[in-house]
Amino acid sequence: MRAIALGIAAAAALASGSTAYASDEESWPNQNNIVVAQNYRDYSELDRTSLRVVFVDGDVTASNEAVAFASCQYCHTTAVAIEAVVVIGYPKTFVPQNIAMAINYQCSHCVTVADAWQVVLQYTGPVELTGQGEKQVAQLRQQLRDLADSNATPDAIVQGDMQIRDQLKQVLQSDLVPTEGGEDKSNEQDRESFRIAA
């Protein structure tokens, strides 16, 4: 019960009291990508997704989080967070986080899935996405939404996510171009967290 209580508290804290999901817009100040899906409706499907590419030219504190919480009967709840963090230069603080949490509470015949994946790319100088790259990222966002809306099994979600991630990596490799004397990337890290509650 303590674990359940802690999980519920964490989900509530992330959600700030409401069901929400992160914006898809890229921006320099906000490094976080937080997706929360809370489902309280019987015989329902609730899906929340976000795919972000964020650029950071200072300390790296990006947190990529997917939280799926269900308290319902015969329901399906999915939260998927995919984030690419493009780091410019050499930050003094480098603490990216990637977290997935799936919680069922007083729930029967329900499937709850949370999947979080984060890749960090480091460049010595400024880079930017080409127009074609931005278009492809937008298309991948839509693919992710369609996958979550398809009521797919957890295995199918994992396979679909992997394909979208691979495509995103290809876009970043081919369509991130130097600006103002930027140079090639010097480091790459990626991590995944996946949770299922059934």
Q: How far apart are CA 9 and CA 68, in angstroms?
A: 13
Q: Containing domain of residue 55, as a range?
A: 2-197
Residue 40 — very low, low, confident or very high, per pLDDT cuts 50/70/90?
very high
Q: How far apart are CA 62 and CA 95, in angstroms?
A: 7
Domain count across the chain: 1
Per residue in 121-156, pLDDT (tens digit) is 988 888 999 999 999 999 999 999 998 888 778 778
3-state secondary structure (DSSP) of residue 15: helix
Per residue in 93-124, pLDDT (tens digit) is 999 999 999 999 998 899 999 999 999 998 88
Q: Is 83's pLDDT higher than 90?
A: yes
The pLDDT value recorded for residue 191 is: 61
Q: Is 196's pLDDT higher than 80?
A: no
Q: How far apart are CA 114 and CA 82, in angstroms?
A: 11
0.85 exceeded by the pTM? no
- Sign of the C-alpha dihedral, residues 40, 41, 43, 45? negative
Higher pLDDT, 168 or 198: 168
Q: 168 to each of 50, 76, 87, 107, 176, how far by Cα in Å?
A: 13, 26, 16, 35, 11
